[in-house]
């Protein structure tokens, strides 16, 4: 179940990226992130009320609230924030390549914090999958020519690494908060509410709350895209991601959840009529071979 949920998350990320990127063209990445968290919290609250009979898991222990809340802030706010900054400084290609290190980092943190171990064949599959993802991401963006001075480049590399660490730590902390078969839906709601509150406190302190709301209301099409993207990504996707990390090894789950660049190939071929090179196909099959190892090699 965990591995299937993780692969489903990759499909969610691939689809939601299309809607959110269109919205970002009008509003900018930061405003999209702020609004999508609000949309996700509304959707998750309604789902929690319908399925659990309450708008929020008020019966969750303080210890669980702490770990899940910290997971939301580190993974959904800080990790994404550093990643966006990295994209601006060094470009999407290099930033995404560094983000492909999330499975390794999450495995190391899961080993250090949770005492998890990964079997040899699973670890091999993780690295093969990561290698395939890196081939595809590199090929998809090989036309970028971004020139930065050494200081900006170094800062961009650091931000990308911190973004990868933020997402990896967020996954590990989420698994710790879900211990004892706690509801993944309740867990993702706690994470989202924590991330939303933290992000909007920062937004208010920066004096950008009014501007964010005004720009969002001025672009109804962008708001619609954010709503759809929020349903597929922060709602369905993050919910499935917690199921994945709760029922599978964190390193394995995070690797399978990183397959979105692979999944984007046929989507862009069909939607944007882009040509797919042999290099990209090679990367795709390499990543799928790694996934097959994770699934099929016996323990």
Across the range 136-145, mean pLDDT stands at 55
Q: Is the pLDDT of residue 190 over 90?
A: yes
pLDDT over 60 at 299, yes or no: no
Which residue has tokens 């369905």?
236
Coil vs helix vs strand at 28: coil
pLDDT of 213 reads 93
Instruction: Quote the number of domains for the chain.
Output: 1
Other CB atoms within 10 A of residue 111 CB: 15
pLDDT, one tens digit per residue, over 81-140 is 787 777 767 765 667 667 767 777 777 788 777 777 777 877 888 788 888 877 876 665
pLDDT of residue 145: 43
The predicted pLDDT at position 298 comes to 56
Q: Report whether pLDDT(22) > 90.
A: no
Looking at residue 143, its pLDDT comes to 44
For 148, residues 6+ apart whose C-beta sits below 8 A from its C-beta are 89, 90, 156
> Helices (H) and strands (E) in the chain — how many of each?
15, 0
Residue range(s) defining the domain that contains residue 116: 2-296
CA–CA distances in Å: residue 184 to residues 27, 81, 239, 266: 31, 24, 6, 31
Among 35-49, 161-175, 281-295, which is the least confidently predicted range?
Answer: 281-295
Residue 274: what pLDDT? Answer: 64
Q: Please state, in angstroms and rounded to a whole number, the distance separating the CA atoms of residues 294 and 140.
A: 25
CA distance to 40, 86, 195, 225, per residue, from 216 (Å):
16, 24, 19, 11
pLDDT band at 295 (very low <50, low <70, confident <90, very high): low
- Asked if residue 153 has pLDDT above 80, the reply is no
More confident residue, 169 or 86: 169
Q: Which of the two residues, 169 and 268, has the higher pLDDT score?
A: 169
Nearest residue to 178 via CA among 61, 281, 56: 61
pLDDT in tens, 266-293: 776 777 666 777 887 887 788 778 877 7
Asked whether the predicted pLDDT for residue 146 surpasses 50, the reply is no
Torsion angle of the four alpha carbons 102, 17, 160, 128, in this order, in degrees rounded to the nearest 10? 40
As a whole number of angstroms, the distance between CA 84 and CA 86 comes to: 5
Query: Using alpha carbons only, what angle is made at residue 248 by residues 99 and 250, rounded to the nearest 5 degrees?
Result: 30
């Amino acid at each position: 179940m965990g591995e299937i949920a993780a692969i489903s998350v990759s499909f969610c990320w691939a689809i939601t990226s299309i809607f959110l990127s269109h919205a970002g063209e009008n509003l900018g990445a930061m405003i999209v992130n702020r609004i999508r968290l609000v949309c996700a919290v509304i959707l998750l609250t309604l789902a929690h009320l319908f399925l659990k009979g309450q708008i929020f898991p008020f019966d969750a222990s303080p210890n669980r609230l702490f770990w899940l809340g910290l997971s939301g802030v580190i993974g959904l706010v800080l990790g994404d924030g550093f990643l966006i900054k990295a994209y601006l400084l060094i470009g999407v290609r290099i930033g995404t390549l560094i983000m492909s290190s999330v499975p390794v980092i999450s495995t190391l943190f899961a080993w250090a914090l949770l005492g998890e171990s990964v079997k040899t064949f699973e670890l091999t599959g993780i690295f093969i999958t990561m290698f395939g993802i890196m081939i595809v991401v590199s090929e998809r963006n090989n036309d970028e020519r971004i020139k930065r001075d050494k200081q900006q480049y170094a800062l961009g590399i650091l931000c990308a690494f911190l973004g990868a660490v933020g997402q990896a730590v967020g996954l590990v902390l989420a698994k710790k908060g879900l211990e004892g078969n706690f509801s993944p839906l309740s867990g993702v709601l706690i994470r989202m509410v924590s991330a939303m509150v933290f992000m909007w406190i920062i937004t208010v302190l920066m004096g950008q709350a009014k501007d964010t709301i005004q720009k969002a209301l001025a672009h109804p099409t962008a708001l619609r895209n954010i709503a759809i993207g929020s349903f597929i990504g922060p709602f369905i996707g993050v919910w499935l991601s917690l199921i994945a990390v709760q029922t599978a090894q964190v390193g394995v789950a995070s690797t399978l959840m990183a397959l979105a660049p692979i999944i984007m190939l046929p989507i862009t071929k069909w939607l944007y009529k882009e040509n797919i090179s042999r290099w990209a196909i090679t990367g795709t099959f390499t990543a799928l071979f790694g996934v097959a190892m994770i699934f099929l090699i016996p323990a």
